[in-house]
Amino acid sequence: MKRKYVILCACLCTTVGFADDTPVRAAQSELGYALRTTPEYSRPGMACWFWQGDEFQPEGYKKFIDLHREHSAVTLLTTSIRHPVEVTDPAVHDQIKRAAEYAKANDMAIVMDLDVRLARQAFQDSHPDELQEIACLREIPLTASGEVQLSVDSIDLSDHYTFGSAKTYCTVSSRLLRAYAYSTGPDGIEPDSIEDITELCRVVQADSKGLNVAIPCDSSLSGKTACVIAAFTLFTPDVFAPHLIEFERNIMKQYSDVPLAGACKDEWGFPGRFKVNTDDLWYSDAMAHAYAERYPPRDLVPDLLLMAKKQRGREQERLAVINCYMELSWKRHAEVENKFYYGVKETFGQSALSATHPTWYPYPGELEAIKNGLDWWACERDLAQTDESTPFSARTSLTKKWISPLWYNMYYSTTIEAYQRELWSSVLAGGRINFHPLYPAPLADGNTAILRGDLMRAEQRIRLLNYISSEPVECPVLILFGHLGALNWVGDSFGKTGVEIANELWEAGYYTDLMPTSEIRSVTMDGGSGDVMEWMGIRSIRNRNHWPNNYSPSSVASAGAYDAVVFYRPEFDEGRTMPVLRHLSLDAKTALFRVGEWNLDLRGRPLEAASALNQRMRAVDEASCAREVIAYLKAKGVEPQTPGRMRGEKGFPDSVVPQSSGYCRLSDGTTILASGEKELMGDPIQKTIKVRGFEVTVDAIGVVGIQLREDGTIYALAAGGLKTFKSAAQSIELPERLDIAFFKEPGHEPRGIVHGYDGPIPDALLTLTKDWTRVRVPTPYVDPPASAN
């Protein structure tokens, strides 16, 4: 007898996207059990699709979609272009439209990259005076007579948006922005000696190859130094371009007739540089205008000299102008990101997804500071998204910031074994993978490699957990790093964000969130169910012991409550921190620690509230901070979760990830056991644990997720290869192992999911609910047989 199967898929809702969570009923199966599909709009399976030449051939998009339809449970394809075309080309639009329609017909959806960097020529044609510039400051000694010449080579940068493109972020033109002469001493430039000599200079060359400037010398310049500020215009839109946001909106409007599930803006910021050079500073006339408007009476061009070169007696002022420059930059990056986010909603509907990740270099340090100002937490997303080896402390904090049920990490490697480690470590920290093809490898080979074997089947087994909870992993510790301090290359905190302390805490099993101090907003009180904190965009009820009788996960308290908060190098933070600090310092439930000084405000001036701020916190040094926090948590009775281990990825800085076997707690009280240390599909789990004070014994494979009611009966259960579940209140014995999930959706009766099983639903499961949905399991990809000659 033929059985009917469904795939639970984001695209099965009535509109493409995520908002419609109304269940869609299918016909009754021949077994008599309802086949009901509910869109996993908040927890999709995700994979990356990069278009090259093949996808632009007639029906060239079908192969990738067909492969993932059959050999994965992916529902969303975050899609970008790696080919010398632009998204504004009508032919490109038409091919993407055909692909989106085909994906929708096959129960998948495309989230298309519509970033302006995929339309750089179109932007330049429309707005030739709004391209990004970079100001390069170069010095040359001056003489008593004659002429000196200074040559500055052009700039050529690239990133993933230029892969397969006809042009990099190459220099389009150059110009002399300004030239200064000055005397120097042991403490830097003598400020009173600075003079503008731009009018004296003769431009010998100013083109795409470089800038050459001749400076006539006389006795008045003898012994002085000249600094030439060469401005190179690059082939990419200016971050501060007046028409940038409008141009991206128009791209979206061009695609408004395409059934997309959303749009991507990936790794936004200034063009990436893999070496910090503060003699090369981002600049444009539009940026200079914004700078003068925000920080009157400052002028950006002379401030570039102050930022790049030490000047005697102006140390405080130098700190201040760098703070202003970097604050202006990261806030503009976030503005562009968030305008894109709301453009996605306006164009494709409130259910549409804005993807992918704001992270570029996957570590909150110096390179990321220069690229995007560490704006990760300010870039609005419905789903928290990161990439590569981003520290887990940043991944988990982004779920809290955006009220995201999970975080998704775009991950690639050269081996399936590496994907296995990432997959199982992620589930133990509340995360999933956005599957990038194997890399480095030819994309065609990488696409099929992740579909071979059991990787996709293991991912689908883990996704059983998605049905029973939409809450993030519990983190008892929060590290708030000084945002401006981490961005200021003159101070001693440049690129330092507390990841090392977070690593120590994760290694001991004490999960820790990491955020910048700029995320602090306000604190309010709620007299009903305890103190309610509305800071960092998180609304968290702090009464850990409150458990409602009906155990509705959405109403469970304790979500987001922190037992310890560490203010890490908070120098330059200002008064908006005070309300939060006053609130926390009066709350015995949260211990406050401080690493580093906190004496100056954004302008480098003494912080009036410094003494009050510092008195409210326990000062610790960097080396002992984690140990002191752990000692406090142990004394308070906070139990650790899965211990971590240091891991390096692809040459990026090491950070700690959970081991691939252990357990974690979600903020709604869900207990998760997971193990994939040895087997890709998961290791045997035969354990007795306590959940809400009740002893529970399970025999399963790979994953188990449990929520119990107050009386110890099952509220929700997910398990791979379940054989046995036993508690004092309830038992399940299955004749054979099954991948199942049992849960209750708001407004509906309890129901169940069973993966890859076409036999009669066992009686032990029917006692939980009569409503079971069968979900097919993807088949591993195998090479087609060779054609006969």
Q: How far apart are the first and last CA of the chain?
A: 39
User: What's the pLDDT at 610?
Assistant: 62
pLDDT-derived band of residue 15, with 50, 70 and 90 as boundaries?
very low
pLDDT-derived band of residue 132, with 50, 70 and 90 as boundaries?
very high
Residue 32 has pLDDT above 60, yes or no: no
Residue 757 has pLDDT above 90, yes or no: yes
Give the position of tokens 């990261």: 330
Rounded Cα–Cα distance for residues 198 and 194 (Å):
12
Asked if residue 399 lies in contact with residue 384, where contact means CB atoms within 8 angstroms, the answer is yes
For residue 784, give every residue at least 6 positions away whose Cβ sits within 8 Å of its Cβ, in sequence order, or none: none
pLDDT digits (tens, 9 = 90+) for 335-385: 999 999 999 999 999 999 999 999 999 999 999 999 999 999 999 999 999
DSSP string, 264-305: E--S-SSPP-SS--TTEEEE-HHHHHHHHHHSTT--HHHHHH
- Give the predicted TM-score (pTM) of the model: 0.91
Region 177-193: mean pLDDT is: 97
User: What's the pLDDT at 599?
Assistant: 81
Residue 38 has pLDDT above 80, yes or no: no
Strands (E), 277-394: 280-283, 353-355, 384-387
Task: Give residue 315's identity as a one-letter amino acid code.
Answer: E
Strands (E), 22-162: 24-25, 36-37, 46-51, 76-81, 109-113, 131-141, 147-153, 156-157
**DSSP tag of 101:** H
3-state per-residue secondary structure call for 568-599: ECCCCCCCCHHHHHHHHHCCCCCEEEEECCCC
Q: Is 751 helix (H, G, I), strand (E, B) or coil?
A: strand
User: What's the pLDDT at 526?
Assistant: 38
**Buried/exposed code over 216-251 (b: 16+ C-beta within 10 A; e: otherwise):** ebeeebeebbbbbbbbbbbbbbbbbbebbbebbbbb
User: What's the pLDDT at 540?
Assistant: 38
Task: Give the Å distances, CA to CA, from 455 to 17, 117, 433.
Answer: 26, 33, 11
pLDDT digits (tens, 9 = 90+) for 63-121: 999 999 999 989 999 999 999 999 999 999 999 999 999 999 999 999 999 999 999 99
pLDDT digits (tens, 9 = 90+) for 199-250: 999 999 999 999 999 999 999 999 999 999 999 999 999 999 999 999 999 9
User: What's the pLDDT at 31?
Assistant: 28
Region 619-627: mean pLDDT is: 96
pLDDT digits (tens, 9 = 90+) for 631-665: 999 999 999 999 999 998 878 999 999 999 999 99
Rounded Cα–Cα distance for residues 732 and 348 (Å):
45
Give the position of tokens 């974690």: 664
Rounded Cα–Cα distance for residues 144 and 593 (Å):
58
Q: What burial class does residue 32 get, using C-beta atoms within 10 Å of its C-beta: 0-12 exposed, 13-18 middle, 19+ buried?
A: exposed
Of all residues in the chain, the percent with pLDDT exceeding 90 is 78
User: What's the pLDDT at 444?
Assistant: 66
Give the position of tokens 């509907």: 349
Task: Give residue 6's identity as a one-letter amino acid code.
Answer: V
Asked if residue 778 lies in contact with residue 758, where contact means CB atoms within 8 angstroms, the answer is no
Least confident of 39-48, 183-192, 556-565: 556-565
Residue 331 has pLDDT above 60, yes or no: yes
pLDDT digits (tens, 9 = 90+) for 133-171: 999 999 999 999 999 999 999 999 999 999 877 799 999
Region 578-603: mean pLDDT is: 75
β-sheet bridge partners, residue 176: 230
DSSP string, 705-734: EEEE-TTS-EEEEEEEEEEEEEESS-EEEE
For residue 722, give every residue at least 6 positions away whose Cβ sits within 8 Å of its Cβ, in sequence order, or none: 698, 699, 700, 704, 732, 734, 737, 738, 739, 740
Rounded Cα–Cα distance for residues 774 and 37 (Å):
9
